[in-house]
Amino acid sequence: MTATTNLTHAECAERARTIAVGEQRVELDLRSATDPTARTFRVVSTIAFTATGEETWVDLIADQVVKVTLNGAPVDLSYDGARVPLTGLARDNEVRIEADCVYSRSGEGLHRFTDPQDGNTYLYTHFEPTDARRLYPVFEQPDLKAEVTFVVTAPAEWVILSGQPEVERTQERDAATVTFAPTPPLSSYITAVAAGPYHRVDGTWSTERADGTSQEIALGVLCRASMVDYLDADEVLRLTRQGLDFFDEHFNYPYPWGKYDQIFVPEYNIGAMENPGLVTFTEQYLHRGRTTRAQRQGLANTLMHEMAHMWFGDLVTMRWWDGLWLKESFADLMGYHVTAEATEYTDTWTRFAMDRKQFAYRQDQLPTTHPIVAVIDDMEAARQNFDGITYAKGAATLKQLMAYVGRSAFFAGSRDYFGRHAFGNTEVSDLMECLEAASGRDLTSWSRVWLETAGISELTPVVERAEDGTLTSLLIRQRASDPLASDARGEGPAAGAFIDRPHRLVVGCYALEGDRLSRVAAHEIDVTGQQTQVPQAAGEHADLVLINDDDLTYATVRLDPVSTETALAHVSSIESPLSRGVVWSSLWNSVRDSELPVDRYVRGALQQLPDEADAALLASGLTNLHSAIESFAPVARRSDWRGEQVAMLRDALWAAEADSDRQAVLARALVRATASTAEGVEVVGGLLDGTSVPDGLVVDQDLRWGAVAALAAQDAVSDDALAAELAADDTMTGRTAHLRATAARPSASAKAAAWEAMVADESLTNDHLRALVAGFTEPSGGPATQSYADDYYASISNWWQQRSMVMASILVTGLFPRGDLVAGNQPDEAPSLLAAQTWLEQHPEAPKALRRIVIEQTDHLRRALRVQASAG
């Protein structure tokens, strides 16, 4: 039988209409985990539910189903690999399913990892959105919440965890069986289990409230034994207490999940996951080398994001995945807001403006763009909507909403929302009702234009200046339409019709004082309609006019010609890092949209970045500069610009303060740049062998591996040197880095070996596959990789069918064949673009999720080719 692994909205809505789930007991036998030859583990899942219909199904992806009983009677097995059908239902039912499920190597379901350093085995789960069914039989949809009791049998010496506190433990020989307290009503995708010899640090959080109530929560921070040296548990606990203080005060709903463990795990597919009581984080937050302030700030943002989910998403959950924004947009907003207000990282909005919103801008310009409140027909679509629109655009839009209704009303509405809907499921109207009640504003129109339409507003200043630079007139033009809209059914504007999104923003006026740009005026205004006058700016001297200074709204913001020239020559002199971030973001978006020639951007970046004082902004700017050269620059100019980039980085690195974040950022950027040009081989080789290292720079193991991979891409490191590097760092990270470096070699034989491993070796872990893909595609645009285009298009349908969605997505996205514009050709004539379009035309019936990846990669390629063409 064909496995029906996809789940549609229609069928799940019908299932939710006909059944209601009560208690569920999940018994897991994980004693086989330490045996590398054991593929499976035994699970028994018992579910109590009521039904109004005669039939339904239970979701399960297992090696085999052993036994099924319904209301005590055996059920004839009919299992297609994804569903266990049930017929003859009574009003009250109990189904018991015994099955053998598979240990994962892809980060989906129950992931098993064996540490090469000490041989220890570790387990953890990741389920979002529909991988709980890889661990246990379950009704796998967010609106069928259950009170779940986990019972886990595992080696007795292990730490055994779930989202609720342990209530009973028994031991027989070398195995312990741990029973956990039942969860409050909980969606399956946020249940969790972890087991292994994890290192643990304990703490507590407590509060005494003004109303006389108090609360104490047990805290835990965990990681693998071999990563203890890189875990700053005190910092994690400090941030956790700061976050819980903030949420307890502002949400006025006591933390409802009993305990708060946070565990750092290997080979994790995402940054973190909000499992209540057992939050999982990728080990990439445990840095083996120098940790910059920006990296520590990144952990703080993620920690607050996941903590916000304890209320937005866990306590109150979207009914279906079209309401994904109800948890992710709010959590993304709160991650930055709480980090800025409750921790030392008060400047975190700068990174949001410079980095996070680019995630949204890129996604929102693709043919696959969608409203924040999206239409999600099935689970494959849901998996792909964990994207820049749902996260970053949603957060930016909610930041605008907070400015629109007021901070106090925003939190008052949130408190009302939790009080009304705790442990339930909601839709967009439920939240808007609470915010309207708190603010007194009618949010119907706001919700329609911001949440229910797609696309980006473009805000452009029309500036008139006197000869002395004084503004005589300032007008803001708004261009905004929904590329997906249609009035065929009379339900909205036609595609291309103007959408009037209101923007509350600040217009900053900057004047040159010597070589420095100083803000001489700031005007907070409401931009509505297609044109908005800013009369208060008249008479100001402004060498640079910055719309959306302070970054209150979500829009593509342009600079007028005079402001563009001023910014390219003086952006690093602006005092406020947030304002510099908004300027850099505007310049970068103008390059991507072919509004600003790439050569002018590169020249400005090469000149200004060495003077950028904020290390986080410097890192972002250097990343964009590298992308401008590698993706948007005409091929004929790349060699020179690569050389100039390396020279700039080398000089700035040796001039940087010893043992500073700037020094670390510049060293990493220099290593990255060297992967594309031999100009950097000598200096990077000096870092690696210690013959030429700036004072204060520690060439730690992570920087060494970056240098090794870069030199490998230039064929400037021997096999013996690669082997020696691995011998010195035979860890999970070292083995992964070694794979990448080996695949980065430019020879045809190295690329052939990497290709064979990627497409044929299904024993590869998720991280090892990513490493091979990253190495295979170095050096950027190398001719060896382009020769695999035919193999790629011949294979992607099979990859999608035969691999899990995570593993197939790594291959389809990472190996997409890219090419550059050939002199004399138009972008639409590029063979790489034509090949992608041909596959799409010939495979209209391919799975929508697969087509979406190819469509998006094709659009990224088309944009790069058009920017190359516009450069002349």
- Which residues form the catalytic set? 306
List of residues 6+ apart from 461 with CB closer than 8 A: 474, 475, 476, 477, 545, 547, 558, 559, 560, 563
DSSP string computed for 231-270: --HHHHHHHHHHHHHHHHHHH-S---SSEEEEEEESS-SS
DSSP string computed for 121-169: EEEEEE-TTT-GGGTS-B--STTS-BEEEEEEEEETTSEEEESS-EEEE
**3-state DSSP call for residue 826?**
coil
How far is the C-alpha of 209 from the C-alpha of 359, rounded, in Å?
39
| Residue that the structure tokens 């991988």 belong to | 131
Q: How far is CA 531 from CA 55, 131, 460, 497, in A?
A: 58, 49, 10, 15
β 40-51/92-102 pair status: antiparallel
- In one-letter notation, the amino acid at residue 37 is T
Nearest to 353 by CA among 219, 506, 549: 549
**3-state DSSP call for residue 382?**
helix
Nearest to 767 by CA among 816, 810, 729: 810
How far is the C-alpha of 543 from the C-alpha of 617, rounded, in Å?
22
Structure tokens at 65: 């189903």
Structure tokens at 132: 């709980």
**3-state DSSP call for residue 840?**
helix
What's the residue count for the chain?
872
User: Angle CA(128)–CA(148)–CA(373) in degrees, nearest 5?
Assistant: 35
Contact 145, 139 (CB under 8 A): no
